[in-house]
Amino acid sequence: MTIQGLNVGVIGGSIAGCAAATALSRAGCNVEVFERSSKGLTDRGSGIAIPGQLRADLMERGYLPRDFPNCEMKTRWWQFPDNTTQGRRLWTQATPAFANNWGNLWRALRRNVPTDNYHEGRRLSDFTETETGVVAQFHDGEARNFDLLIGADGYHSVVRSKMHPQAKPEYAGYVLWRGNYPEAEVDDKSLIDAIDTDFAWLTVPFEGGHGVLYMIPDLDGSNMPGHRRVNWAVYAPCPMAQQLNGIESVPPGAVEKAAFVEFQRLLNDDFPKAIRDLIAHTRHEDVSIQPIYDSVVDTYTSDRTLLIGDAGTMARPHTASGATKALEDALSLEDLAGTVDDLAELLARYDAQRCAQAKTLSQIGRRIGRAQVLETPDWGTMSSADFEDWHKAIMSGDTLYLYGETA
């Protein structure tokens, strides 16, 4: 079966789903996207990073407009609390990347999918592969026939759970606190001005975790100083006062007051004042908690089904590769679709390329989590040379763009 003219159903209308739809539409497929949310995808502007080469490729190939707003990142300052306002610099690490606003990235990709081909409020309940295609069953009772079904439905993937019923997400033992707010709300911008001069972002290591802070474009795309968003995240043990519901994140507005007090205590005890103040400015009701999980599968494809992005593999956020992985999956799909002779070859070559790479990425994330959260070193005693050796041990010969390597 040739690729051109295939009827493709994409389950999930987020970044992965829109990118996959664009890729296969360009290959001549008839693509429809089914998003379970009936209210449209919204986001308060969470920060995500992508490597520079991927950004350039997405613009060159028309996935993103050439004026798509980013905030460039070149260096990572590891700041240790030492009773000074900004802390003591332990290490300056090369980290070439571009920070993005999730909402802006999704909206840019969503515009590539025709409105008539993007269906909201459509939740997949089941699917069955046949000799001639795949039948997708939706919660509203409708059944649709496709030549190919793509699971782009994230870490809750119904498609993955049907393909790999034994593959269950594994809790890593800690959580990620998140928050962001408009830069215009900051009164003392001295630290922000300092990191701007070096295109830097901040990491504060402490026993049992670390926090990061960087600037991202605002929801309207503004990326000039004074008009961006302050974005931060802190890895730490789960607060005792917060009950987790499995893999589900605790959204803004649902974090227990007592848990937030625990978080404030952590900031007071382990963060330099200037960085603590920037994080603590976030209102309680705007803070979320993400439990960290791993999920890896042995294959991304079956006879008529394919996984993309987090639906395939969940890598820890340390790798800053959630969106990157999905976008690279999509570009791989487009490239392969232009060179293979039939669907079977497309699935086989895509699986060989993307599943193995995702497994490596997951392993990197586990090593970073162990070294930077679960088994942290005596940070204050480390020299720059110690950090370099420590970093090499974590990477174990693998490469990752956020650690000064080409993705």
In this prediction, residue 139 carries a pLDDT of 96
pLDDT at 61 exceeding the cut of 90? yes
Tokens of 67: 């004026």
- Whether the per-residue pLDDT at 306 is higher than 90: the answer is yes
Within 13 A of 321's CA, how many CA atoms are on the CB side?
A: 25
Q: Are strands 288-294 and 229-236 parallel, antiparallel or unpaired?
A: unpaired
Backbone angles phi, psi at 264, to 5 degrees: -60, -40
pLDDT of res. 245 = 87
Among candidate residues 134, 238, 124, the one with its CA nearest the CA of residue 176:
238
pLDDT at 407: 34
pLDDT of residue 256: 97
CA distances from 324 to 4, 105, 321, 359 (A): 26, 11, 5, 14
Q: Residue 10: is its pLDDT beyond 80? A: yes
Residue 290 has pLDDT above 90, yes or no: yes
Work out the pLDDT band at 403, boundaries 50, 70, 90: confident
41 within 8 A of 113, measured Cβ to Cβ:
no
Spatial separation of the C-alpha atoms in residues 319 and 84, rounded to whole Å: 30
Provide the percentage of residues in the chain whose pLDDT is more than 70: 98
Distance CA 346, CA 17 (A): 18
In this prediction, residue 45 carries a pLDDT of 64
DSSP character at residue 248: B
Q: CB–CB of 233/249 below 8 Å? A: no
- The predicted-structure confidence for 310-328, as pLDDT tens digits, reads as follows 999 999 999 999 999 999 9
CA 359 to chain centre: 16
Q: So what's the pLDDT on residue 372?
A: 97
Q: What mean pLDDT comes out for the span 101-113?
A: 96
pLDDT of residue 404: 67
Query: Residue 46 and residue 288: Cα distance in Å, rounded?
Result: 11
Query: 235 and 211 in contact (C-beta within 8 Å)?
Result: yes
Place 402 in a pLDDT band, splitting at 50, 70 and 90.
Answer: confident
Give the gyration radius of the chain's Cα atoms. 21
Instruction: Using DSSP, state whether 158 is helix, strand or coil.
Output: helix
What is the rounded distance in angstroms from the CA atom of residue 224 to the CA atom of residue 101? 14
Mean pLDDT of 325-337: 97
Question: What's residue 119's pLDDT?
Answer: 97
Q: Give the model's pLDDT for residue 405.
A: 56
Residue % of the chain over a pLDDT of 90 = 92
Class of residue 133 by CB neighbours under 10 A (exposed 0-12, middle 13-18, buried 19+): buried
Tell me the domain boundaries of the chain.
7-43+105-169+295-366, 50-101+170-293+370-403
How far from the centroid of its chain's Cα atoms is residue 223's Cα?
20
| Class (C level, CATH) for 7-43+105-169+295-366 | alpha beta
pLDDT at 40: 72
For residue range 108-154, list pLDDT tens digits in order. 999 999 999 999 999 999 999 998 999 999 999 999 999 999 999 99
CA distance 163 to 394: 32
What pLDDT score was predicted for residue 43?
63
The per-residue pLDDT for range 164-220, each reduced to its tens digit, is: 999 989 999 999 999 999 999 999 999 999 999 999 999 999 999 999 999 999 999
Fold assignment, 50-101+170-293+370-403: D-Amino Acid Oxidase; Chain A, domain 2 (3.30.9)
* Cα angle 198-203-204, degrees, rounded to a multiple of 5: 130
* Cα–Cα distance measured from residue 34 to residue 29, given in angstroms and rounded to the nearest whole number: 16
Q: Which helix (H) or strand (E) covers residue 392, if one does?
A: helix 384-395
pLDDT at 406: 44
CA 22 to CA 15: how far, in whole Å?
Answer: 11
pLDDT digits (tens, 9 = 90+) for 344-397: 999 999 999 999 999 999 999 999 999 999 999 999 999 999 999 999 999 999
